[in-house]
Amino acid sequence: MRALFPGSFDPVTQGHQDVLRRAALLFDEVVVCVMFNSNKTGRFPITERLDRLHAAATGLSNVTIDSHTGGLLVDYCRRVGIGVVIRGVRNVHDLDYEMPMAHMNHELAGVETFFIAADPAHAHVSSTLVTAMSQQDPGACPK
């Protein structure tokens, strides 16, 4: 079974890497896809995010990296024949944010969402937090 792990990955964090490693153990193939989020201002260009994801996927032979910057997530899933989306969740706020999208993806295209609970060691870290910290003190950033 193929699964999609979408996100802005701006930047890639240890939490993303952990979810990716765990998903790679569960699915035959995991496609990590940099998606465009109109609610976020990108810090890193997509090419750099793709490079960082390639590095994060080192040693994971069943992981491929891609990008999709136009259209809905379900459009990408239909185009490449993927029926499962992987989402990492850190807390109930993440789940509250993700559930309506999971329902809509299922309603629009029959795409299921598979939630992976964040490792508690990484649950406090978000790309937004990493970006904010790096703007204040570049040497203080967790990865």
Which pTM does this prediction carry?
Answer: 0.85
CA distance 23 to 19: 6
Q: CB–CB of 108/74 below 8 Å?
A: yes
pLDDT tens figures, 5-16: 999 999 999 999
74-126, pLDDT tens digit by residue? Answer: 999 999 999 999 999 999 999 999 999 999 999 999 999 999 999 888 665 55
Question: Residue 39 burial (CB < 10 Å; 0-12/13-18/19+)?
Answer: exposed
